[in-house]
């Protein structure tokens, strides 16, 4: 605990200027976790960028499903909304949401699901519902669960993508929208969840993975130019660090070029 206090006293300054920004690094790190042929349940933003990047590089047969009903879609531009025409127009088929949630997600057919969050705790439980003291009188009301609760429950594996700060990495989240590992081993089983839970938490600073036995998140990889101290200073609990801590490979020029080209297709940018 003393150590964590010291750590937390460390500076939270930005990593020194690198030729990529933190969104790009997160996107590329997420893309690299995807293997060809996987069935991925994808959301808007970095998950879409990562999935499309992976499909354009090492995983051309990635099978992308969006909760809006697009099955095996192959968007050429970055979709701006979860029900973007781009997703429907490039899909093998478009089906109703009952089929997506009941036939695809619920039975554990999805290899990898993507989630974002406003808060995360050491067991990778996440909050996208509200910040504050009580559900009835929130300080900040967030959008809520959407597909997240069942994505967290039923996908074989889950990737959480989130910027790492002491506001997001907190000792206790204000509301569990989606269960990671609950309060440790056995929680998922007790809660009737069939998926394995979060496999990677990918942040702007590094990659965290659950410890095999304790299920607590451990820092396993630092992005280039980031120090352990920085990570610890941006984590609201005494984060464990892997003995064999790795450094994430820097984005390759090819990866960066692809990501930037993709992001440039987003008409959102024009505003």
- Sites of contact with another protein (CB under 8 A): 39, 44-45, 63, 67-72, 80-85, 87-89, 91-94, 96-98, 101-103, 105-109, 129, 135, 137-138, 141-150, 152-154, 175-179, 182, 187-188, 191-194, 267-268, 271
Q: Which of 24, 67, 216, 255 is catalytic?
A: 67
Minimum gap (Å) between residue 80 Cβ and another protein? 5
Told to judge if 150 belongs to the known catalytic residues of this protein, a careful annotator would answer no
Strands 130-131 and 140-141, by their bridges, are: antiparallel
d(CA 206, CA 224): 9
Minimum gap (Å) between residue 244 Cβ and another protein? 31
- Which CB sits closer to another protein, 30 or 148? 148
- Which CB sits closer to another protein, 95 or 228? 95
Contact 150, 105 (CB under 8 A): yes
Say how far residue 201 (Cα) sits from the centre of its chain.
6
Minimum gap (Å) between residue 113 Cβ and another protein? 13
Tell me the residue ranges of DSSP E strands in 86-152.
91-94, 112-115, 119-120, 126-127, 130-131, 140-141
Minimum gap (Å) between residue 258 Cβ and another protein? 21
d(CA 82, CA 65): 10
Q: Which residue has the tokens 């594996």?
A: 157
d(CA 112, CA 63): 10
Contact 181, 199 (CB under 8 A): no
Minimum gap (Å) between residue 158 Cβ and another protein? 12
d(CA 229, CA 13): 11
Q: Which residues are catalytic?
A: 67
């Amino acid at each position: 605990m003393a150590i964590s206090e010291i750590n937390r006293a460390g500076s939270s300054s930005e990593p020194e200027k690198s030729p990529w920004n933190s969104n790009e690094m997160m996107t590329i790190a997420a893309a690299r976790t995807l293997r060809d042929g996987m069935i991925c349940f994808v959301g808007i933003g970095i998950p879409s960028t990562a999935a499309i990047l992976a499909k354009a590089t090492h995983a051309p047969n990635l099978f992308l499903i969006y909760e809006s009903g697009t099955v095996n879609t192959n968007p050429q531009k970055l979709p701006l909304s979860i029900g973007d025409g781009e997703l429907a127009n490039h899909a093998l088929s478009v089906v109703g949401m009952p089929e997506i949630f009941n036939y695809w997600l619920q039975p554990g057919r999805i290899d990898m699901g993507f989630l974002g969050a406003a808060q995360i705790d050491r067991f990778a439980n996440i909050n996208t519902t509200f910040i504050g003291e009580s559900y009835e009188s929130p300080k900040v009301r967030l959008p809520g669960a959407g597909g997240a609760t069942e994505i967290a429950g039923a996908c074989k594996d889950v990737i959480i993508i989130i910027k790492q700060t002491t506001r997001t990495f907190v000792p206790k989240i204000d509301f569990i929208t989606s269960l990671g590992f609950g309060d440790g081993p056995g929680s998922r089983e007790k809660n009737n969840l069939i998926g394995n839970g979060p496999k990677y938490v990918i942040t702007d600073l590094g990659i965290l993975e659950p410890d095999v036995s304790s299920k607590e998140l451990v820092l396993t990889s630092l992005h280039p130019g980031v120090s352990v101290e920085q990570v610890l200073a941006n984590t609201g609990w005494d984060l464990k660090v892997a003995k064999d801590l790795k450094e994430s490979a820097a984005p390759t020029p090819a990866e960066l070029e692809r990501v930037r080209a993709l992001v440039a297709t987003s008409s959102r940018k024009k505003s």
